[in-house]
Structure 1
Amino acid sequence: MHLLEVQKYLKSNALIVMPNHIHWQFQLLNNNLLPQAIRCFKGRTAVVCREFGIYKLWQKGYYDHLIRDEDDLVKSARYIIANSLRAGLVKNVADYPYWDCVYV
């Protein structure tokens, strides 16, 4: 994910990696299109996972949500970082190690 930021594909705002899915809020940069960014992310992570013997990582497609205003931006980021709480993995967001959010 960091490499996509370095290469100016996107700017990551909020992210959580769950046991069987991820939630990720980001802003596309430099006229990059969402399908290009997703394809690049899935491809790069699949290559790394193959080194560990994981060959089936991603399902086809993805679900997106267009952020319409600042309220939606903050609400979406809060939803993302609270995912581990809703899943019952932790009792406090800070106890879950696989998340990041520029707003917190």
Structure 2
Amino acid sequence: MLCWVLMPDHLHALIELGQSESLAVLMKRVKCVTAGIANTVGGRYGSVWMSGYHDRALRSDENLLAAARYVVANPMRAGLVKCVADYPYWGCAWSVDDIDDPIG
């Protein structure tokens, strides 16, 4: 996972797939593990995620850093924060200095 941001109602992630696991299998595993954690923390049980997901493959010539900036800028575009670093629910393989100005 090169970067991710957890929004109030969905997850955005930039994932580099390996040779051994398909995106469908990976997403099923991610949903299973994170739902288990969310249910344990919340003292509840049941579904957390909706079925399905939306994906977009990057062309080989697309800039991964630009894609990461787009992903982590979601809280800014949603009006949740004014700066990427102010949002607590994200992570990235690049430093905050590399992605802190994702819109500019």
Aligned length: 93
Give how far 1:25 is off: 0.5
Distance 2:80 2:45 in 1: 23
Q: Give the gaps of 5 or more residues in structure 1.
A: 1-11
Residue 93 of structure 2 is matched in structure 1 by: 102
CA offsets 1:16-36 (integer angstroms, 9 cap, x no match): 011111100111124211111
Percent identical among aligned pairs is 37
Deviation, 1:38, is 0.4
The within-5 A match list for 1:43-62 is 43-51=32-40, 52=42, 53-62=44-53
Q: Which amino acid aligns with 1:98?
A: Y
Following TM superposition, the consecutive aligned residue runs of length 4 or more in structure 1 with deviations greater than 4 angstroms are: none
Aligned to 1:68: 59
Q: CA offsets, 1:59-103, max 9 Å, x none?
A: 110000101124342222111011110011111111111111112
Would you say the 8 A contact 1:24–1:80 is kept in 2? yes
Q: Distance in 2 between matches of 1:72 and 1:103?
A: 13
CA contact (8 A) 1:14 1:26 kept: yes
Contact 1:49 1:55 in 2 (8 A): no
- Unaligned 5+ segments in structure 2 are 96-104
Structure 1 residues 80, 55: closer, same or farther in 2, change over 3 A? Answer: same
Distance 1:74 1:38 in 2: 22
1:16 touches 1:98 (CA, 8 Å); kept in 2?
A: yes
Structure number having the greater strand percentage: 1
